[in-house]
Amino acid sequence: MQTLEKTLNIRLPEATHTRLAQLTKSTGRTKSFLAIEALNAYLDQQAWQIAEVTDGMAEAERGEFASNEEMSAIFAKYAN
């Protein structure tokens, strides 16, 4: 099965390019591999965050809020 690929050209700040070049040397991976890995991680994180916000907004529109007791338990759990 053939994998379809598209080209993306980007301009990097010099410092970012230097860091990427150093990482390629350290890992033995190509710039393309590392860029794809980083971009996929970013896209996954953004998709997760958007889904969570969308779900939260839907819950709020349905009137589903945490009770005072639930919030107090959360604050107590994570308080210093």
Specify whether the CB–CB gap between 34 and 20 falls below 8 A: yes
Per-residue pLDDT of the chain (80 residues; tens, 9 = 90+): 778 999 999 999 999 999 999 999 999 999 999 999 999 999 999 999 999 999 999 999 999 999 999 999 999 999 87
Which structure tokens are listed for 75? 């604050």
